[in-house]
Amino acid sequence: MKVVKVVLIVIFAFLFVNQAALADQEAASEIDQGEKLVRQLWADMKERDVAAIEKYIAPGFQSVHQDGARDREQELELIANLSLGQYTLSDFSSTQTGPAVIVIYFVSVEETIEGQRLSSTPAARLSAFLETDSDWQWIAHANLKAMK
């Protein structure tokens, strides 16, 4: 009888540890998803691949930059005219709530926006994505880099 109890305790302990590990993996995949989405966005922006971004930028997209707010069409125009040099993405922090992923990260980049060259000092950005039936949609962006 003692052997049966010990075996049952070991099985329950194994199942509990296994469930905890699965929960950790799911949480890590949420964070990985946010970082993956941001990295793809920046790769597409560097290449000025507006056609690729058009496929995943939401119709109701909103952004805010140093010079004001933009809607979807204005953001696509900005990206089409953006001149990015080398960039480094770092310090990712992602939160997933339901179908939304909010990603805060830092970017060090040589960039020119509307003819103004910005400093390459790392600055915070925030991007939000919404999971839909077909794919992830980029729904919001905040560029917190000050213009000279």
Residue 75 is assigned to a structural domain of this protein: yes
Q: Span 10-22, mean pLDDT?
A: 42
Residue 148 is assigned to a structural domain of this protein: no
pLDDT at 24 over 60: no
Of residues 100, 98, 106, 95, the one with CA closest to residue 129: 100
- The pTM of this model reads 0.74
Q: What is the CATH number of the domain that holds 25?
A: 3.10.450.50
Residue scoring higher pLDDT (4 or 35): 35
Q: What pLDDT, on a 0 to 100 scale, did the predictor assign at position 86?
A: 87
Q: How many domains does the chain have?
A: 1
Q: Span 48-66, mean pLDDT?
A: 95
Domain containing residue 34:
2-143
